[in-house]
């Protein structure tokens, strides 16, 4: 069955353009013009991907993304006229995986979604051995590539697809220092020209889920002036 995209956009013209372009790419499309409708459809339709505008009237896109994240780890792309770095970072910190600013090229939208689909497939197909990230008996953390998950004390950590891919990339092999540009290219796919700070936002989100003390990270370590390194404990 074709993958379904939920498009959350209050501008009827833009929503129609996106629907037609996505249907041409073979997606099934559900549409919502506001956050309450989007949340109803997210629960009822269980879409594979979401595209969310940030300006949605009374209940904005940030709230929409946060509420979806409470029930699902599906990939979410922001599509918004807000191009200020603060707005973009706030959207990513709410739980989005990627962003596209308006005005946009339809080909850019479809390329981003294809990249997200590849992330989904590669996460599901991974078969490398498990990697122990923290051996502490009260914080035993394993990266299970066979399951496509991080497991903390026997429970799956609720990582998004992008967070998982970021962690898996840092782990191949552990100990390498990876720059922001190299992580953008490998995790967000070739041809991504977005702000490198998208990496920092996702690293912060990842740390809140896997570190004993996110304020003093010891697993995903910053190497000043170079990038990030994974240090299993």
37-96 pLDDT, tens per residue?
Answer: 999 999 999 999 999 999 998 899 999 999 999 998 888 999 988 878 788 888 888 989
Task: Judge contact between 219 and 232, C-beta under 8 A.
Answer: yes
Q: Give the pair of three-digit tokens for residue 202.
A: 């996702």
Q: What is the pLDDT of residues 113-156, one digit of tens each?
A: 877 777 666 555 555 678 888 888 778 888 887 777 888 888 88
How many CB atoms neighbour CB 223 within 10 A?
Answer: 11
Q: CA–CA separation, 70 vs 73, rounded Å? A: 8
Which of 64-78, 104-118, 189-203 has the highest average model confidence (pLDDT)?
Answer: 64-78
pTM above 0.85, yes or no: no
Q: Distance (Å, rounded) from C-alpha 6 to C-alpha 29?
A: 6
């Amino acid at each position: 069955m074709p993958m379904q995209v939920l498009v959350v956009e209050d501008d009827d013209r833009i929503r129609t353009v996106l629907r037609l372009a996505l249907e041409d790419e073979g997606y099934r499309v559900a549409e919502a013009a506001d956050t309450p409708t989007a949340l109803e459809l997210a629960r009822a339709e269980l879409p594979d991907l979401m595209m969310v505008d940030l300006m949605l009237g009374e209940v904005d896109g940030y709230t929409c993304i946060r509420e979806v994240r409470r029930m699902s780890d599906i990939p979410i792309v922001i599509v918004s006229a807000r191009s200020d770095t603060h707005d973009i970072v706030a959207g990513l910190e709410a739980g989005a995986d990627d962003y596209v600013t308006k005005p946009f090229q339809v080909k850019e939208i479809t390329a981003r979604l294809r990249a997200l689909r590849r992330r989904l497939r590669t996460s599901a197909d991974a078969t490398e051995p498990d990697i122990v990230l923290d051996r502490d008996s009260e914080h035993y953390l394993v990266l299970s590539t066979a399951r496509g998950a991080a497991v903390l004390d026997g429970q799956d950590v609720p990582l998004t697809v992008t967070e998982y891919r970021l962690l898996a990339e840092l782990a191949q092999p552990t100990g390498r220092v990876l720059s922001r540009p190299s992580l953008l290219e490998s995790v967000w796919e070739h041809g991504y020209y977005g702000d490198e700070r998208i990496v920092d936002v996702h690293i912060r989100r990842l740390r809140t889920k896997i570190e004993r003390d996110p304020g003093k990270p010891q697993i995903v370590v910053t190497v000043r002036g170079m990038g990030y390194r994974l240090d299993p404990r």
